[in-house]
Amino acid sequence: MSPELDHQLSDLAGKLGVSVERLWSVLTRQAFFEGVYDLFRAGLAFCFLAACAAAGWWYYRRPSQAAPPFEGFDRAGGAAIAALAAFMFTVFYAESLRYALTEFGNPEYFALERLAKLLRP
């Protein structure tokens, strides 16, 4: 740890009334809980993607003589909206999964990142 970071960390710990070691251990342990939360978010995004895929599969597999659920809603428009939603939630899923892996695999990085946010003026 650099002397400047150590000085800022000890100032923050002093303001909070805890030792530097205690502050560091709290931040590294918090990484586990943040990782669990991010895995939960990734799971929700995956479930949403699966539901969208199932709904799209059902919509395209239904008999052609069945009445469309919405007048004026064609398959091309539905495919474009579904592709956009799938892209957005895939990005959300990938981001949540990346954060979770970082927090589980490298809690010190999470702690340093959180400290940088706390110490920024």
pLDDT tens-place string over residues 59-93: 777 666 555 565 556 667 777 777 888 888 888 88
Q: Please, what are the averages of pLDDT over each run of 10 residues along the chain (121 residues)?
A: 72 79 82 88 85 77 61 67 82 85 85 77 63
Tell me, letter by letter, the H, E, C secondary structure of 30-64: HHHHHHHHHHHHHHHHHHHHHHHHHHHHHHHHCCC
Structure tokens that stand for 96 in this block: 């949540």
Distance between CA atoms of 6 and 14, rounded to whole angstroms? 12
10 Å Cβ neighbour count for 111?
Answer: 20
> pLDDT over 70 for what percent of the chain?
84
Measuring CA to CA, how many Å separate 29 from each of 23, 24, 33, 71, 87?
10, 9, 7, 54, 33
